[in-house]
Chain A
Amino acid sequence: MHYSDKLGRIIVFLFILSFCNLFFHSCNYFTEPEPFVNKDVKAPEILPYPSLYSQIGDTVKDVINVEFFPTGDLSQILKVQFIVDWDIVATLNKPPFQFSTDTKQWPNGKHIIRFGIYYNQAMKLGVLNLLNMPPVFYCDTIEFLHAPHAPVNILIDQINSHPRISWSHPAQADVQYYVVRRYNVSGQITFQDTISQSSPHVEIDMQDTAIIGKTVQYDVGAANKYGINFSNIIVHEYGVQLSVSFNGQGLRCVVDETDTTVIITDVNSNMWKFSCQTANIIQRTSGLNPYMAPAVNLDRSRIYFLGDFISDISYDFYTVYAHYYWLPPSGAVGLTVGLQDRLYIIDKNGKLFVYDGNTTNLISTTPLLTQGSPLIKTSPDGKMLLTVDQTVLKTFSISGDSFTPISQTDIGGTILDWRMLWTSNEVLINRTQSSLSTSGYSLEIWNYTTFTKRIIPNPQESSEITAITATARYIYAAYNIKVEGEPYTMLVEYDMTTQNRNHQWIIIGTANFLAASQKGRCLFANFSSHGNNRIWILDLTGGTSL
Chain B
Amino acid sequence: MKWKLFVIPLLFFIIQTACSQDTASHLSSAVFFSAGYANESPVYVREYYDNVVEFYRDNGVPIPTQLDFGRTITADAGIYFKAIKGVRIGFSIGYSFSPAYSNYQDYAGTLKVNGSVNALEIAFRGQFTTVEIADVPIYLNIQLGVCQNSASITQELRFIDFPENNFDSKWSASAWGVCSQLTFGVPVRLGDFILVLEGGYRYSSCQVTGVTIESSTGNSSIDSHWDIGQDGFVFLASIEMNI
0/1 interface trace, chain B 90-112, chain A, CB 8 Å (1 if under)? 00000001110101111111111
Q: A12-B186, A19-B37, A35-B103 are in contact. Are A125 and B108 (CB under 8 A)?
A: yes
Within 8 A of A (CB), among B170-210: 186, 188, 197, 199
0/1 interface trace, chain B 33-59, chain A, CB 8 Å (1 if under)? 001110000000000000000001001
Report the separation of the CA atoms of residues A32 and B156 in the bound assembly, to the nearest whole angstrom: 13
The reply to whether A8 and B19 contact each other, CB–CB distance below 8 Å, is yes
Q: A12-B15, A19-B197, A43-B108 are in contact. Are A30 and B97 (CB under 8 A)?
A: yes
Residue pairs across A and B with CB atoms within 8 Å: the count is 139
A358 at the interface (CB under 8 A from B): no
B140 at the interface (CB under 8 A from A): no
Q: A38-B104, A130-B56, A130-B157 are in contact. Are A32 and B114 (CB under 8 A)?
A: yes
> What residues of B have a CB within 8 angstroms of the CB of A33 in the complex?
66-67, 101, 103
> What residues of A have a CB within 8 angstroms of the CB of B19 in the complex?
5, 8-9, 12
A-side interface residues, number (CB < 8 Å)? 45
Q: A13-B11, A125-B108 are in contact. Are A19 and B235 (CB under 8 A)?
A: yes
Other-chain residue from B7, B60, B98 in contact with A124 (beta carbon distance below 8 A): B60
- In the assembled complex, the CB of A406 is this many whole angstroms from the nearest CB of chain B, namely 55
> What residues of A have a CB within 8 angstroms of the CB of B7 in the complex?
17, 20
Within 8 A of B (CB), among A117-140: 122-133
- Nearest opposing residue in chain B for A124, CB measure: B60
Interface of B is mostly: strand
Q: A16-B15, A23-B35, A129-B59 are in contact. Are A29 and B107 (CB under 8 A)?
A: no
Q: A35-B112, A36-B104, A132-B165 are in contact. Are A24 and B15 (CB under 8 A)?
A: no
The reply to whether A129 and B134 contact each other, CB–CB distance below 8 Å, is no
Report the separation of the CA atoms of residues A484 and B107 in the bound assembly, to the nearest whole angstrom: 98
- In the assembled complex, the CB of A37 is this many whole angstroms from the nearest CB of chain B, namely 5
A46 at the interface (CB under 8 A from B): no
> What residues of A have a CB within 8 angstroms of the CB of B112 in the complex?
32, 35
The reply to whether B60 and A16 contact each other, CB–CB distance below 8 Å, is no
The reply to whether B3 and A128 contact each other, CB–CB distance below 8 Å, is no
Report the separation of the CA atoms of residues A29 and B70 in the bound assembly, to the nearest whole angstrom: 11
Please tell me the size bucket of the interface on B.
Answer: 35 or more
> What residues of B have a CB within 8 angstroms of the CB of A9 in the complex?
15-16, 19
The reply to whether B59 and A29 contact each other, CB–CB distance below 8 Å, is no
0/1 interface trace, chain A 208-241, chain B, CB 8 Å (1 if under)? 0000000000000000000000000000000000
0/1 interface trace, chain A 32-65, chain B, CB 8 Å (1 if under)? 1111111101110000000000000000000000
The reply to whether A16 and B103 contact each other, CB–CB distance below 8 Å, is no
Other-chain residue from A8, A17, A19, A122 in contact with B134 (beta carbon distance below 8 A): A8
Within 8 A of B (CB), among A428-485: none
Other-chain residue from B3, B59, B105 in contact with A24 (beta carbon distance below 8 A): B3
Report the separation of the CA atoms of residues A463 and B167 in the bound assembly, to the nearest whole angstrom: 83
Within 8 A of B (CB), among A1-34: 2, 4-5, 7-9, 12-13, 15-24, 26-27, 29-30, 32-34
Report the separation of the CA atoms of residues A116 and B110 in the bound assembly, to the nearest whole angstrom: 22
> What residues of B have a CB within 8 angstroms of the CB of A23 in the complex?
35-37, 73, 237
B63 at the interface (CB under 8 A from A): yes
Most chain B CB within 10 A, of A36, A123, A129, is at A36
The reply to whether B136 and A8 contact each other, CB–CB distance below 8 Å, is yes
Within 8 A of A (CB), among B210-243: 235, 237
Report the separation of the CA atoms of residues A210 and B98 in the bound assembly, to the nearest whole angstrom: 87
The reply to whether B197 and A16 contact each other, CB–CB distance below 8 Å, is yes
Report the separation of the CA atoms of residues A266 and B68 in the bound assembly, to the nearest whole angstrom: 100
> What residues of A have a CB within 8 angstroms of the CB of B66 in the complex?
33, 36
